[in-house]
Chain A
Amino acid sequence: MTTKNVAHHGSGRARRGLSKATIYGILTLYTLLAIGPIALIVMNSFKTRRAIFDSPFSLPNSETFSLKGYETVWDRADFPRYFFNSFTVTVLAVGLVVVFGAAAAYALAEYRFTGNTFLTLFLAVGVMIPIRLGTVSILKLMVSLHLVNTLWALILVYTAMGIPLAVFILAQFFRQVPRDLKDAARIDGAGEYRVFALALPLVRPGLAAVAVFTMLPVWNDLWFPLILAPGESTKTVTLGVQVFLGQFVSDWQAVLAALTLAAIPILLLYVIFSKQMLSGITEGAVK
């Protein structure tokens, strides 16, 4: 018994291969590589021009602290408006994707009707093909609808872009809603819309995953704002930052401040919701 135990422990150590120190060591090093560059930018955005170049790796102190970069950004670019535009586009596009996507996913998962398979495949194609390939015609379409340089152009394109994956993910979730529950509601006289309303809260994790998957590419996109809404009044944060940085390349304080301003809100949101987001990705990956 004793020998067996000893043998077990002995081989146990050999089996593990990785020591605790190695695991923590590699993870810590990689974490520094991941957040170091971001921290470097944020840190230096609060320093004087001289300090940025003389001692890039030290924290700002009372002598080197400066907000001049932020003043330049405030004077020269309309960041509140860019944020408002990005916020409007993202909230509306995500909202429409979730609502339209959930309704369509429910129909495909719940009812067997003529054309179900065809429609499922029709939507699945959109998961694989990037919408950017249709840009030439999207621009023509937006010109003819007089939507160029409006936020609606972006909202409509992003809604179309998000729907296929949303339907795909939500249909999986709706299939897991117990049939008895829905049939019980039907026996009680609930109409089909009411049954849908009952099933909806049961797929909340799916709705959250879809919202996350849809939100980031919309907020971060440069391509469509650049092509469909490059006007000053419709610029999103991503495009606004890109244009600003292009103009102020040599003003390092301003560039660092603009980068920090653009990065911090999304990082804060991420830190607050990271648990939900990462579990959404994990669930989405397995499905």
Chain B
Amino acid sequence: MTSASTTTDVVRGISARRWRFPRHVAVFLAPALLVYTAFMVYPLLDSLRLSLYSDEGAFVGLANLRELLPGGSLSSSFWNALGNNLVFFAFHFIVQNPVGLLLAVLLTQHLLKRGKGTYRTLIFSPTVLSVVIVGFIWQLILSPLWGVVSTPLLGLTSTALPTLSLMSVWQFVGIPMMFFYAVLVGIPEDLIEAARVDGANGWKIFWKIIFPLLLPMLGIISIITYIANLNAFDLIYSVQGALAGPEFSTDIMGTLFYRSFFGFQLQSGSTAMGATVATAMFVVILLGVLVYLFGWAKRVETYEL
């Protein structure tokens, strides 16, 4: 009797908790929401707002943004940086995914008896280093002074951007490798065995069974990479400086943002133009996310295993 009434009390307590906003919920949420709102959400919204004002604080509407469009003062820099940035991403997409997948597939082979953990650990190790360190490591190795490579790959407008892109791929290939690995080890053995019994060969099993199961993860990796690439700065700044040389051939959105905001040499810094470039980056990232959500995630089937 007593226990029954206690239980109903608890049940009532739970259902009552459902519809109010009790104090303990506020206490749990407050610290995270305060810091997040004050130092992330507010600055992001405020940056969007600042892009509509001049440096003197006058409302100018979309006039700042128009400077990025053809005919505007920042137009050629902006489109050059955006183009370079998309090339930077394309290198990641085209090189990082197949290499990461190949490594993940090799790591899940039954014939690989010993050393699986060691291979994984070592291949992933460049990922934990700072981009600055990776940039300088490769800068030294590729330096014609050292003579390991005789062509100044980072000094030519034609090769600098591909070289920097591949340096970044070298560093981060461990991430797609681990993500694909996580999916591969989750595929039930029975599924593969069943296909094998039906006479499918390794190649066919990979393309008809394993690959479709990897597609959702390929989408996730690609959108994470896209956002990270559009946000990149450290590598270019460390290796080529804020002017992203030679002749701006490695200028990407992050370095353009930095120069627009702080100014560099002949270019003077501007809060308004910094905020405007940030707004443009926001739009470009948003477009990518929309393409991912509606062009990819909606069409690719996710299978429950």
Contacts and interface: CB of A to CB of B under 8 A. Distances in A.
A283 B182 CA distance: 7
Contacts of B228: 130
Interface in A193-252: 193, 196, 216, 219-223, 226-227, 237-238, 241-242, 245, 252
Interface stretch (B68-76, B84-92, B119-127, B150-158): B119-127
B227 A135 contact: no
A282 B274 contact: no
Contacts of B185: 282
Contact of A38 (B29, B111, B125): B125
Contacts of A113: 17-22, 25
B125 A111 contact: no
B279 to A, nearest CB: 8
Interface stretch (B41-49, B243-251, B294-302): B41-49
Contacts, number: 296
A76 interface: no
Given A41-B137, A123-B36, A222-B237, A278 B125 contact: no
Given A132-B254, A187-B7, A18 B32 contact: no
Given A18-B111, A119-B33, A133-B44, A255 B282 contact: no
A267 B228 CA distance: 22
A163 B102 contact: no
A71 interface: no
A1 interface: no
Interface in B85-124: 99, 102-103, 106-107, 109, 111-112, 115, 117, 119-124
B28 A160 contact: no
A60 B137 CA distance: 19
A34 B131 contact: no
Given A133-B47, A286-B186, A160 B136 contact: no
B36 A274 contact: no
B38 interface: yes
B285 interface: yes
A246 to B, nearest CB: 8
A30 interface: yes
Interface string A103-128: 11011100111110001001101101
Nearest to A183: B10
Contacts of B106: 18, 23, 26-27
Contact of A100 (B20, B32, B174): B32
A152 B196 CA distance: 59
Contact of A222 (B27, B36, B132, B196): B132
Contact of A242 (B17, B115, B238): B238
B6 A187 contact: yes
A56 B148 contact: yes
Given A101-B32, A156-B35, A267-B128, A285 B140 contact: no
B43 A134 contact: yes
B133 A104 contact: no
A131 B37 CA distance: 12
B123 A41 contact: no
B18 to A, nearest CB: 4
Contact of B47 (A122, A134, A277): A134
A263 B38 CA distance: 33
B131 A17 contact: no
Nearest to A126: B40
B303 interface: no
A129 B201 contact: no
B137 A259 contact: yes
Contact of A129 (B32, B35, B178, B285): B285
Contacts of B109: 18, 23
Contacts of B230: 130
A14 B201 CA distance: 8
Nearest to A212: B128
Contacts of A277: 128
B133 A262 contact: yes
A167 to B, nearest CB: 7
A15 B196 contact: yes
Contacts of A137: 42-44, 46-47, 50, 275
A219 B289 CA distance: 27
B282 A275 contact: no
A67 interface: no
B78 interface: no
Contacts of A99: 31
A159 B39 contact: yes
Interface string A25-59: 01110110111011011000000000011001000
Contacts of B146: 52-53, 56
A138 interface: yes
B233 A223 contact: yes
A103 B31 contact: yes
Contacts of B257: 132, 135
The 8 A-B residue pairs with the shortest CB-CB distance in the complex, in nearest-first order: A134-B43, A104-B32, A107-B28, A160-B39, A137-B43, A220-B130, A137-B46, A160-B40
13 contacts: A114-B20, A128-B285, A130-B285, A135-B274, A159-B35, A193-B27, A238-B133, A245-B132, A256-B140, A262-B133, A274-B121, A275-B117, A282-B185
Given A161-B40, A245-B136, A259-B140, 10 more contacts: A15-B201, A16-B202, A37-B141, A101-B32, A113-B19, A138-B43, A160-B36, A238-B133, A242-B237, A267-B129
